[in-house]
Structure 1
Amino acid sequence: MDTSGGNGAVFSYASGTGSVPLLGETIGENLRHTAERHPAREALVDVAAGRRWTYAEFDAAVDELARGLLARRIRKGDRVGIWAPNCAEWVLTQYATARIGAILVNINPAYRTHELDFVVRQSGLSLLISAASFKTSDYRAMIAELGFEQTVFIGEAGWDGLLAAGQEVDPAELHEREATLAFDDPINIQYTSGTTGFPKGATLSHHNILNNGFFVGEGVGYTEADRVCLPVPLYHCFGMVMGCLGATSHGACIVLPAPGFDPEATLDAVQAERCTSLYGVPTMFIAELGHPRFAEFDLSTLRTGIMAGSPCPIEIMKRVADEMHMSEVAICYGMTETSPVSTMTRRDDSLARRTETVGRVMPHLEVKIIDPDTGRVLRHGEPGELCTRGYSVMLGYWQEPDKTAEAIDAARWMRTGDLATMDAEGYVNIVGRIKDMVIRGGENIYPREIEEFLYSHPDVADVQVIGVPDEKYGEELMAWIVMRPNAEPLTAQRLRAFCEGRLAHYKIPRYVHIVDGFPMTVTGKVRKTEMRLLSLDVVESKAR
């Protein structure tokens, strides 16, 4: 990997090489090839529903649903929505839409009527496949409120009727449809959670997500012997790309422990299904490690897994590697618009590399770190905006060319909005979001650095640091802290005493807010924008 710049200087640019070429096929073709190689191996286990499929059975079930969609006159390029928690039908819909060239629109299970209405209209849905309800969400009532009639409810007569209608479609019609597909066709729309305004629909192709899932699987060494436990939501790239496509492109088994994240159900599924890999965002691993019965579960079959979605605390990563037997656990970094993974730690990386960085650029991709104002590539160690280029960059935002042009430049570099550094060996460290950077009295402060330090406090279970308005300095730091069980709540004074002499004075949080948890997205990302709004009242009350 050559990261040398001109004139003898060394710049933060890296290109990923590899001996394995990109896959030049559609998702449907790739699944068929896997099923031909490993027909008797298990492809999918829905633990909560007590159902399982071999690859031969799964491939046939995908065909059955694909023919049902053809019976509903779903054309190539039509948008088909999926609104449901994790279940086997979600996975079948993912592969069946790909097999006929329909564009799967992933709908966040936490959406309410207003958000659903936006997605239905903006994407131009032809059909919605939905759960009837999940937790406190009455999907049926919300869909009825919108008056969207082209809906099939999973597990009900409509779903059975969809499959039955497929029996009347000649298999030759499905093969004819497949023959019209190209791997650069759009196949998936995922709505990114915008902090302002409406979300944007990142549009991804077969080539984007099949290859990204495949190379993530290569990175953790998947073979047909692996069993991948997925407690992360399928509607996000973490679940459907890194999880499902990472598994099926290698003949591994997908294990769904529960409809939604449940630490006990996850631990139980790993034990019962003898999983070799486990995915999660940091808060999920924290919940699993903190489960009262954690020590009772046999997790000895685990060897690898992926932690991603938000910055991974070093101490948690070490416990996952040691106490959960995941010695080969990987850190992945990316975003929906890049399918999602751009950098990843490798199995032979040292523990320090796998706890202190997000790894190196993936095969067949490029990354660089630039000055966000000038676009100039920075030297090693200098923080700037991370950009990605290659097969993984999305086709664009659905029907929003202006917003696409803001995100992807003329040379096809995707600007991530993340602040990062790169060292001389190409390892990337995420410093924070450009929007999260705190400027206190002219000093640039990166919350991630302070969070990592505060995790070393013996009474701190979890922590997030944000900037809040201040008349004198422009911004001040506030630490939201979740305490360990039975620990005495920290005060600002006690926290300052812990930090003094170990952190620069301007990096010590002025405010401490003790909480039970943080506002989170469904995918486990902390909503710092919401935290800042909620913190205004706290700051005002402390100022009085």
Structure 2
Amino acid sequence: MLRTITIGDLLDETTEKYGQKEALVYQERGLRYTYQEFQEICNQVAKGFMSLGIQKGENMAIWATNVPEWVITQFASAKMGGVLVTVNTSYRTHELEYLLRQSESTTLLLIGSFRDANYVDMVREICPELDHCEPGKLESARLPHLKNVIYLGEDRQPGMFTWKDLLERATLLDEQERIKRQRSLDPDDVINMQYTSGTTGFPKGVMLSHSNIVNNAIKVAECQRLGAEDRVCIPVPFFHCFGCVMGTLACVATGATMVPVIAFEPGLVLSVVENEHCTALYGVPTMFIAELNHPSFEQRNLSSLRTGIMAGSPCPIEVMKNVVEKMGIRDITIAYGQTESSPVITQTRPEDSIERRVATVGRVHDGVEAKVVDPVTGETLPANVQGELCTRGYLVMKGYYNMPEQTKMVIDAEGWLHTGDLATIDEEGYYRITGRLKDMIIRGGENIYPREVEEFLYAHPKILDVQVVGVPDSKYGEQVLACIRVKPGEDLKVEEVKEFCDGRIARFKVPHYIQFVEEYPMTASGKIQKFKLREQAMQAIGLETKGQNDTA
């Protein structure tokens, strides 16, 4: 049964039932909100946003780690109708500018820095006008839509509001105005936008409605049997659906407690699970591997763990077994999907055998249609025959923002979303993901589209041509390999290429391997054969092309 409800109303409904129960806990900050307190701060921040003149349907970008302000903003923006545009924390100036411009975001919320990246400096580089403008009155030459920049920190930054300003501005607005705004929202309205390279082209803004993500969160929770007594440790980033739909929204849908980790660190995750008696743990396979191999692992009491989700990239069978046996997460589930499907299409259930849970990605959620088709003819294929996985139902995105042609390429006239993934389905409805139609790279849960990296590297003055492929990696699943043809008469070194990338594109997109080649393998019609290029490159760097680890 699907729900017809907005995110704001869902939070109010859960607060009505579980007002005095813990909603949000941050061990690192010593912060604890009951559902009543969480609802109040979200209402306050919603009014703060409205006081800035942000209208229903306006795009609001957030560039931050899993800080408390992120999850508050998620629900506050949903209550006043702002569309939350999530920004990858690994982005650099080139990608940030593209996203803000393409999304036409009017507001940007950001933290000061993360790891070696200074976010404030990068925003100033793109918008030097910030140094001389009043907060809320930005007029940027490069980003004409951007007006409000909100700094999620204590100190004051030129041209930016602070989080404290936002809380104080809430008093400028009557509570009835906020209630009226919330009541004007429709469950079918777009409320979340996530940028993904998907299967074709440059990053695209995936438009997701309240109905898309509320119902997907509910189905994800059902597959784990989550309830109000559960406490979910969320170390996966909020800027992905894994964090903000399968994580925070699934908790609010069931009355469970959100227990986020601001930035993944395996020892910290183990500490949070132990101290907060978490019953569920989320992660991509690399996170679980890091936790299992942490020096403190044997000393940790993880007996509270019951369920959770491993997703984001193929899950090695041995890792899955260790999570069940050594971490004791007996009801761990595997989920598969993509941002365009809100995100989960299939998921295993706790009652599935360990064999099912390590060898497949489960069955479709209730209320979801799926089929495996011949990529050429579109004909539906029988069981155990490989083809492209397609899905249809409430979970399919509203489309790519301002990209109608790209939307038509992935959603057909009958409403089927073509995932670009190759799969088989067995007689009992269990799916296996067997490959990808396109050449997208998945590195540690991050989608990397080769063309985006290629276009960036083409800008290097010494590069004549470049082809990017993914190669197997035991830690991250895949790594980026760039095969570069250098311009005649030029001399180019690996270090120069890496230096060119440093600080300009996200670290996970920077080629791990760089090879200089004279030519590429071609078809008779002159098309580059990427699969052959990949095989040749793997041979040259000593990677095996066969006998890789089995994955679900």
Cα distance in structure 1, aligned partners of 2:93 and 2:100: 10
Cα distance in structure 1, aligned partners of 2:91 and 2:184: 34
Out of 51, 54, 59, the position equivalent to 2:39 is 59
Q: Deviations over 1:78-130 (max 9, x none)?
A: 11110000111000000011001110000011111111111111111111111
In the TM superposition, what are the counterparts of 1:435-514 in structure 2 within 5 Å?
A: 435=438, 480-481=473-474
Structure 1 vs Structure 2 CA RMSD: 2.6
- Asked if the contact 1:80/1:103 (under 8 Å) is kept, the reply is yes
Aligned to 1:510: none
Question: Are positions 1:187 and 2:167 aligned together?
Answer: no
- Asked if the contact 2:199/2:440 (under 8 Å) is kept, the reply is no
Cα distance in structure 2, aligned partners of 1:528 and 1:162: 37
Aligned to 2:414: 411
Cα distance in structure 1, aligned partners of 2:410 and 2:537: 34
Question: Are positions 1:96 and 2:76 aligned together?
Answer: yes
In the TM superposition, what are the counterparts of 1:10-409 in structure 2 within 5 Å?
A: 21-147=1-127, 149=138, 150-156=148-154, 157=156, 158-193=162-197, 197-257=201-261, 259-409=262-412
Q: Deviations over 1:430-483 (max 9, x none)?
A: 112123599xxxxxxxx9xxxxxxxxxxxxxxxxxxxxxxxxxxxx99754569
TM-score by length of 1: 0.78
- Asked if the contact 1:195/1:529 (under 8 Å) is kept, the reply is no
- Asked if the contact 1:212/1:339 (under 8 Å) is kept, the reply is yes
Instruction: Give the partner amino acid of 1:228.
Output: V
Cα distance in structure 2, aligned partners of 1:61 and 1:316: 40
Aligned-pair distance for 1:538?
A: 6.7
Cα distance in structure 2, aligned partners of 1:526 and 1:121: 22
Q: Which has the higher contact order (CA 8 A, sep 6+)?
A: 1
Q: Deviations over 1:26-56 (max 9, x none)?
A: 0000000000100111001122222110000
Aligned to 2:135: none
Cα distance in structure 1, aligned partners of 2:509 and 2:125: 29
Q: Does the C-alpha gap of structure 1 residues 540 and 325 become closer, same or farther in structure 2, counting only changes over 3 Å?
A: closer
Q: Deviations over 1:171-205 (max 9, x none)?
A: 00001101111000000110003577420110000
Cα distance in structure 2, aligned partners of 1:329 and 1:289: 15
Aligned to 1:15: none
Aligned to 2:459: none
Q: What SS does structure 2 have at the residue aligned with 1:389?
A: strand
- Asked if the contact 1:310/1:525 (under 8 Å) is kept, the reply is no
Q: Does the C-alpha gap of structure 1 residues 533 and 74 become closer, same or farther in structure 2, counting only changes over 3 Å?
A: farther
Q: Does the C-alpha gap of structure 1 residues 529 and 335 become closer, same or farther in structure 2, counting only changes over 3 Å?
A: farther
Instruction: Give the partner amino acid of 1:360.
Output: R
- Asked if the contact 2:361/2:433 (under 8 Å) is kept, the reply is yes
Cα distance in structure 1, aligned partners of 2:273 and 2:541: 46
How many residue pairs get matched?
Answer: 447
Cα distance in structure 2, aligned partners of 1:525 and 1:135: 11
Q: Does the C-alpha gap of structure 1 residues 119 and 525 become closer, same or farther in structure 2, counting only changes over 3 Å?
A: closer
Instruction: Give the partner amino acid of 1:75.
Output: Q
Aligned to 2:524: none
Q: Does the C-alpha gap of structure 1 residues 204 and 532 become closer, same or farther in structure 2, counting only changes over 3 Å?
A: farther
TM-score by length of 2: 0.77
Cα distance in structure 1, aligned partners of 2:290 and 2:206: 30
Cα distance in structure 1, aligned partners of 2:167 and 2:539: 57
Q: Does the C-alpha gap of structure 1 residues 532 and 241 become closer, same or farther in structure 2, counting only changes over 3 Å?
A: farther
Cα distance in structure 1, aligned partners of 2:475 and 2:383: 35
Aligned-pair distance for 1:155?
A: 2.5
